[in-house]
Chains A and B, each alone.
Chain A
């Protein structure tokens, strides 16, 4: 146990948190604007990964796969919001059940289209290397994950704080009825935010697919983690999502690291 060990654990925790931020921020915004608990959010993550795989198989370009997958799944989210969620009006239970119904449908569709095998998304060789920082070797891919999440987080924050659209979104989060009263088209904002959430989750799926892998069941594994991020950070807040993601990412890594350090056979393992 030395400094390097803890340094690497912290770094791993932050990079995992970066991934969780991509998934959790969308979920948080959707909840904030629409008060919908979107249980198909994990499916967007998984489908994003699968679409990216298809793009990589046909074109061989990882760089192309990222935007194509994110935009495709964003479009899926847009259609789902317009065609199915919007007509339900405000009824939390029915909305939640509807998103679950879709999660099941997506699960089956993914199984049929991409089979039940485990896949890995291989990033280009450039990103597979490690860089040395102060004697510690850091995998470049994880640096890339942190940079991407940071860039997206800053872009989202700027959009929320500095643009007219962002102000409208914040107003809707605070009080949708008042927002409608002053002439904000909350229906359009809901649509955009839902699509944005799906977009971000799919982006997370492509980026996370490199070290989590893409396999059936990943959707319902990511979902509770995304919820943990949202619950810790507070719903509808970007900054909260960032803090929540870091907390969950670090806790996940340090939890494991602590157990490894104290009891190498696991909490309930036998010596």
Chain B
């Protein structure tokens, strides 16, 4: 697999234009669309963190919802019990959520990083379920099945209850996260992660501490998951065990695969498509979930490199048919 999101200025320009378009167009639409885009952006941070693991390190995690959940639950508990994070200290909670996600990942990483392939998948799944169990059963703290309702959004000079203002805050955090993760994967550290993905044994022989590399990548992904959770709590207005369920982890993973793993922005595209399908279709037809299921199954069967892989596949296909044309010409020229 070729490392994606090349430094090609054209591609970067495309991403910048797309982001600018989102920032300009969204506020002018109705509140349904604004909320939809805000949701997709908040969740995209988690999706990109999954891509750091899956696309750049080669670790398929089925438990990333756990990090979103600690961020979200921390936000909700601090806000409803202690009135923390409803003023300017919202930014502190944002950092606290990320730190909490990182701390949880640091604990879970010890158990999970040793395993590879399918076993890594199973362990992260089991660990995610542990967090789910806590959220579901620890009634006095998490509100159990009902979850916690967040009545107010933060207010500090600007009022985040205003959906456009809130959209811009989420958009800002999203862009900063994207930049941070892009810098990370382009850094020497990110390069050695890609090396581990391609051939871990060779990296070991070259003298890299691959365990530590993977462990750090896992912690970084956890931090962004926690960050995403803080935003998610305020976006959705409710935090419940649904946020920790296996389907949430799977969603994030599928969005990465749908958009194209190892591209960062691919996951964002996947997230917009899935959220769009889910929210729009569910208002139109009752069988929307079949559409989503078919999209997933079809992507896995026919588009293993995701949507971002389409141009590359087209190029290959064109090159192949082009070659065949050349060959035919040659064949006809030499009787």
Interface residues of B, count at CB 8 A? 33
Asked if A108 meets B257 with Cβ closer than 8 Å, knowing A97-B300, A227-B125, A268-B141, the reply is: no
Q: Which of A102, A112, A268 contacts B138 (CB 8 A)?
A: A268
Residues of A within 8 Å of B82, CB to CB, are: none
**Pairwise interchain contact A98-B60, C-beta atoms closer than 8 A:** no
Query: Which of chain B's residues 118-140 have a Cβ closer than 8 Å to chain A?
Result: 118, 121-122, 125-126, 129, 137-140
Asked if A75 is at the interface of the complex by the 8 Å CB criterion, the answer is: no
**Pairwise interchain contact A101-B293, C-beta atoms closer than 8 A:** yes
CB-defined interface of A26-62 with B at 8 Å, one 1/0 digit per residue?
0000010001010100000000000000000000000
Query: Which of chain A's residues 193-244 have a Cβ closer than 8 Å to chain B?
Result: 220, 223-224, 227-228, 231
For the complex, what is the distance from the CA of A9 to the CA of B232, rounded to whole Å? 42
Query: Which secondary structure characterizes the binding site on chain A?
Result: helix
For the complex, what is the distance from the CA of A100 to the CA of B125, rounded to whole Å? 13
**Pairwise interchain contact B129-A93, C-beta atoms closer than 8 A:** no
CB-defined interface of B281-304 with A at 8 Å, one 1/0 digit per residue?
000000101101110110011001
Residues of B within 8 Å of A101, CB to CB, are: 254, 293, 296-297, 300
Asked if A104 is at the interface of the complex by the 8 Å CB criterion, the answer is: yes
**Pairwise interchain contact A104-B126, C-beta atoms closer than 8 A:** no
User: Closest residue of chain B to A223, judged by CB?
Assistant: B246
Query: Which of chain B's residues 231-253 have a Cβ closer than 8 Å to chain A?
Result: 245-247, 250, 253
Task: Tell me the minimal C-beta distance from A52 to chain B in angstroms.
Answer: 24
Asked if B157 is at the interface of the complex by the 8 Å CB criterion, the answer is: no
**Pairwise interchain contact A102-B126, C-beta atoms closer than 8 A:** no
Candidate in A87, A100, A269 with the most chain B CB atoms within 10 angstroms: A100
CB-defined interface of B146-190 with A at 8 Å, one 1/0 digit per residue?
000000000000000000000000000000000000000000000
Q: Which of B62, B125, B300 contacts A98 (CB 8 A)?
A: B300
Asked if B117 is at the interface of the complex by the 8 Å CB criterion, the answer is: yes
Residues of B within 8 Å of A31, CB to CB, are: 118
Q: Which of B121, B245, B253, B292 contacts A220 (CB 8 A)?
A: B245
**Pairwise interchain contact B293-A268, C-beta atoms closer than 8 A:** no
Task: Tell me the minimal C-beta distance from B63 to chain A in angstroms.
Answer: 11
Residues of B within 8 Å of A223, CB to CB, are: 246
**Pairwise interchain contact A220-B293, C-beta atoms closer than 8 A:** no
Query: Which of chain A's residues 68-124 have a Cβ closer than 8 Å to chain B?
Result: 84, 87-88, 91-94, 96-98, 100-102, 104-105, 107-109, 112
Residues of A within 8 Å of B54, CB to CB, are: 93
**Pairwise interchain contact A268-B140, C-beta atoms closer than 8 A:** yes
For the complex, what is the distance from the CA of A131 to the CA of B139, rounded to whole Å? 38
Q: Which of A94, A100, A224, A266 contacts B250 (CB 8 A)?
A: A100
Asked if A270 is at the interface of the complex by the 8 Å CB criterion, the answer is: yes
Q: Which of A37, A87, A107, A109 contacts B121 (CB 8 A)?
A: A37
Q: Which of B62, B129, B138, B292 contacts A104 (CB 8 A)?
A: B292
For the complex, what is the distance from the CA of A87 to the CA of B300, rounded to whole Å? 11
Asked if A96 meets B126 with Cβ closer than 8 Å, knowing A101-B296, A101-B300, A108-B293, the reply is: no
Asked if A228 meets B250 with Cβ closer than 8 Å, knowing A37-B121, A87-B301, the reply is: no
Query: Which secondary structure characterizes the binding site on chain B?
Result: helix
For the complex, what is the distance from the CA of A108 to the CA of B288, rounded to whole Å? 9
**Pairwise interchain contact A104-B60, C-beta atoms closer than 8 A:** no
For the complex, what is the distance from the CA of A87 to the CA of B121, rounded to whole Å? 22
For the complex, what is the distance from the CA of A10 to the CA of B254, rounded to whole Å? 42
Asked if A220 meets B118 with Cβ closer than 8 Å, knowing A84-B297, A98-B300, A105-B293, the reply is: no
For the complex, what is the distance from the CA of A57 to the CA of B13, rounded to whole Å? 62
**Pairwise interchain contact A94-B304, C-beta atoms closer than 8 A:** yes
Query: Which of chain B's residues 35-87 have a Cβ closer than 8 Å to chain A?
Result: 54, 60, 62
Residues of A within 8 Å of B125, CB to CB, are: 224, 227
Q: Which of B122, B138, B245, B300 contacts A231 (CB 8 A)?
A: B122
Asked if A102 meets B141 with Cβ closer than 8 Å, knowing A37-B122, A96-B121, A231-B122, the reply is: no
For the complex, what is the distance from the CA of A108 to the CA of B293, rounded to whole Å? 9
**Pairwise interchain contact A108-B289, C-beta atoms closer than 8 A:** yes
Asked if A220 meets B122 with Cβ closer than 8 Å, knowing A87-B301, A98-B297, the reply is: no
Task: Tell me the minimal C-beta distance from A54 to chain B in angstroms.
Answer: 21
Residues of B within 8 Å of A231, CB to CB, are: 122, 126
User: Closest residue of chain A to B142, judged by CB?
Assistant: A268
Residues of B within 8 Å of A96, CB to CB, are: 60, 62, 118, 121
User: Closest residue of chain B to A111, judged by CB?
Assistant: B289
**Pairwise interchain contact A220-B247, C-beta atoms closer than 8 A:** yes
Task: Tell me the minimal C-beta distance from A233 to chain B in angstroms.
Answer: 13
Task: Tell me the minimal C-beta distance from B30 to chain A in angstroms.
Answer: 28
Residues of A within 8 Å of B139, CB to CB, are: 266, 268-269
**Pairwise interchain contact B118-A37, C-beta atoms closer than 8 A:** yes
Q: Which of A84, A93, A104, A105 contacts B247 (CB 8 A)?
A: A104
For the complex, what is the distance from the CA of A142 to the CA of B121, rounded to whole Å? 34
Residues of A within 8 Å of B247, CB to CB, are: 104, 220
User: Closest residue of chain A to B254, judged by CB?
Assistant: A97
Task: Pick 8 A–B contacts, CB within 8 A, sort by A.
Answer: A39-B250, A93-B121, A93-B257, A100-B250, A101-B300, A108-B289, A223-B246, A269-B140
Contacts A31-B118, A97-B296, A102-B293 known; list 15 others, CB within 8 Å: A35-B118, A87-B301, A88-B300, A92-B117, A94-B304, A96-B121, A101-B297, A104-B296, A105-B297, A108-B287, A108-B293, A220-B247, A227-B126, A231-B126, A268-B140
Q: Give the 5 A-B residue pairs with the shortest CB-CB distance, closest first.
A: A101-B296, A105-B293, A108-B289, A224-B129, A101-B297
